[in-house]
Structure 1
Amino acid sequence: MIGWCIARMDESVRRGIIEGRYSEMELEGIRCGLQRQVEERTKASGAILGLFAAFDVMLVMSKTSPFVFAAMLIVEGLALYAAWYLQAGRMKRQYNDALKRGYPGLERLRLG
């Protein structure tokens, strides 16, 4: 059920990288495209951060206990990381792992 919201790298491209089918120029193009996707998805996480900030303001305004506020911050941090990882981090990891297997000498093309 949650599988529809998990971003994945295109399987044929990932296999092509693992098998070393691309030239260095083609690989650079793939990297740039993925970098753009990761940046867009990371920026979209800002909307989630804004929503969490609104929740925090409401907690402060309602004079909630510091324990509840701290717990909420921890839950929000974990949720934000999980959202980022499922939408951007996983694609970075898949690309970097495929690059390491197919092109071990081209570490400079890793996604940072």
Structure 2
Amino acid sequence: MDESVRQGIVAARYTEMELEGIRCQLRRQVEERTKATAGVLALFAAFDAMLLMTKTAPFVLAAMLVVEGVALYAAWYLQAGRLKSQYNAALRRGYPRLERMRM
């Protein structure tokens, strides 16, 4: 999240309408970034299909699934989850009465 916008939210410099605009813009960014992780998921599915076709040991397949799950969560958090947590933390500090505006 842009540092100046985050500081503005913490300092409660925005009107409720401006804050709604910021929230909608961030929600669109989160949705776009979440959709982008679908490409990573497709790549992981292709890896898994190759492992199944080569009749890899079940232990290797299970380990690969765990690694893929951790990588997918990390990618999502760094792309989308962090925006949400930064916005919600700033909103809690600057506008504690506007809990309905959380993402």
Assess same fold via TM > 0.5: yes
Give 1:42-81 correspondences, 5 Å limit. 42-81=34-73
Scaled by the length of structure 2, what TM-score is found?
0.99
TM-score, length-scaled by structure 1: 0.91
**Hey, what does 2:3 align to over in structure 1?**
11
Q: Does 1:38 align with 2:12?
A: no
SS at match of 1:105: coil
Gaps of 5+ in 2: none
Moved runs in structure 1, 4+ residues, more than 3 A?
A: none
Q: Provide structure 1 residue ranges, at least 5 long, that are not aligned to the other structure.
A: 1-8
Cα drift, residue 69 of structure 1: 0.4
1:83 alignment partner AA: A
CA distance in 2, matches of 1:21, 1:42: 29
- The alpha carbon displacement at 1:47 in A equals 0.1
Q: Which residue of 2 aligns with 1:106?
A: 98
Q: For each residue in 1:34-57, what CA deviation from the matched residue of structure 2 results, as whole angstroms up to 9, or x when unmatched? A: 000000000000000000000000
> Could you tell me which amino acid in structure 2 is paired with residue 25 of structure 1?
M
